[in-house]
Structure 1
Amino acid sequence: MLAQSQPPQAVPADLDGRHNYPVLISLFNQLFAARLNTRLVLGDHEPLYLPADDDCGYHRIIFAHGFFASALHELAHWCVAGEARRQQLDYGYWYIPDGRTAAQQQAFEQVEGRAQAVEWLLARACDFRFQVSVDNLTGEAGDSSAFKQIVFSSLQQLLATGVNERVGALVATFGQHFGAENMLDVTTYCVEQLD
């Protein structure tokens, strides 16, 4: 994998001008490069989390192909991962690629629900449309309405118990930059908002 610290010349065609990944990289790195030795990095291939090692002295959250949504998704996984997980390649999580059985998909959705709830908060803070992802295009995706309910319930629980410091800092910083409001008000969310 080749990770770049500088954005390429071409910007993906799906960006609207406000939602471009260099802004996310800058905002994230201002918050966490020094404090938690972690940087958001544009990648050329699949997303990946790489802890600091002998070749690179800082942790890297690598997102795919310059897509704003990919960056938000990878940030959400980083926000959910605890300290020990952030010392492991891809947080030490198992991952069965696209093509999962119904049972494997159900296990995936139980784990993924919390991360996508955080992603929803981050997207709202960026005034960016959030879409749930069952991430199983060639397998047995199951009932997406059930997964939407998992994400919504995870969001409700997260807001009821309070977000962690990393989520809070990102939500506040993104909200200020993008002019978003009510990101942490549970009454502004409903399951019907999920695509």
Structure 2
Amino acid sequence: MHLLQPQTEVNVSSLVSTLSSSNSDSSRPQVQLSPWANLQTESEQVDWLILHFNHWFSHLNVTLVKGDFEPEYFPATDNMPARIQFAHGFFNSALHEISHWTIAGEKRRLLPDLGYWYAPDGRTAEQQALFEQVEIKPQAIEWLFSKAFGRKFRVSLDNLTGEGGDGSSFKDDVYAQVQRYFSGEAKLPRDAARFISYICACTRGGKNLQSDEFIREMLD
């Protein structure tokens, strides 16, 4: 069984840093779960992700939950922690919603759906351009998460019935954003860096992500 120790603080100096330090609260119970490599189905992997995320980030009063319909973020209340609800139990949807949460600051985490503007499928070319501008960083971070898990990542234009184009420029932007995180030109959000470090500790023996693992052609 994989023994998951409580993690309450992690100092992260850059994207490629590992778990450099941690303080464990011995009063909190340990969590046991089968190692990631032993999981065979999407459902098992989703359950693993939920359990681990909720343990790793419990100190931030947030939980990851399956949703039956569209994804949605619910701020914390007096009686309930904040909820990151992902769509239809899909693993990739969970990673995408987590990426949005990591980007949101403390103020936006107090707002329904993190305060995001959203136009549904069927957007005009102008609306799609706005959508893509907002989605560059979340999808770049989602790609980092996916790579840490060893899963294939696909960009999402989310506009099947609208004017989305072929997405090539958006893919260029997502790739460039990932490389900016590695170069240090852009700073990865604190909780995204923490999450990547935690994942790598469980799935890659602590091996850091490297920039050459991300190739533009992977997005086509």
TM-score, length of structure 1 as denominator length: 0.85
- For residues 40-55 of structure 1, the aligned pairs below 5 Å read 40-54=64-78
Moved more, 103-112 or 158-167: 158-167
Q: How far, CA to CA, are the matches of 1:94 and 1:16 in structure 2?
A: 37
Q: 1:16/1:103 Cα in 2 relative to 1: closer, same or farther (>3 Å)?
A: farther
Alpha-carbon distance between aligned partners in 2 of 1:43 and 1:172, rounded to the nearest angstrom? 26
In the alignment, does 2:128 pair up with 1:105?
yes
Q: CA deviation at 1:38?
A: 0.6
On the 8 A contact 1:27/1:173 being kept in 2, the answer is no
Name the structure 2 match of 1:39: 63
1:170 aligns with 2:182: no
1:86 and 2:109 correspond? yes
What letter matches 1:53 in structure 2?
T
Moved more, 152-161 or 97-106: 152-161
Q: Which runs of 4+ in 1 moved over 4 A?
A: none
- Radius of gyration: which is bigger? 2
Q: Is the 8 A contact 1:182 1:188 kept in 2?
A: no
Does structure 1 residue 74 correspond to structure 2 residue 92?
Answer: no
Residue equivalent to 2:22: none
CA RMSD for the aligned pairs? 1.7
CA distance in 1, matches of 2:70, 2:148: 25
In 2, Cα distance between the equivalents of 1:57 and 1:159? 36
Unaligned runs of 5+ in 1: 1-14
Q: Aligned-pair distance for 1:182?
A: 4.0
Does the 8 Å contact 1:43/1:63 carry over to 2? yes
Amino acid at match of 2:151: F
On the 8 A contact 2:121/2:160 being kept in 1, the answer is yes
How high is the sequence identity, in percent, across the aligned residues? 46
Separation in 2, partners of 1:145, 1:121:
19
Contact kept? 1:105, 1:142, Cα under 8 Å: no
Letter in 1 for 2:80: G
Q: Note if contact 2:67-2:86 (Cα within 8 Å) is conserved in structure 1.
A: yes
Deviation per residue, 1:10-53 (Å, 9 max, x gap) = xxxxx9527621111011111111x1001101111100010012
1:136 aligned residue:
159
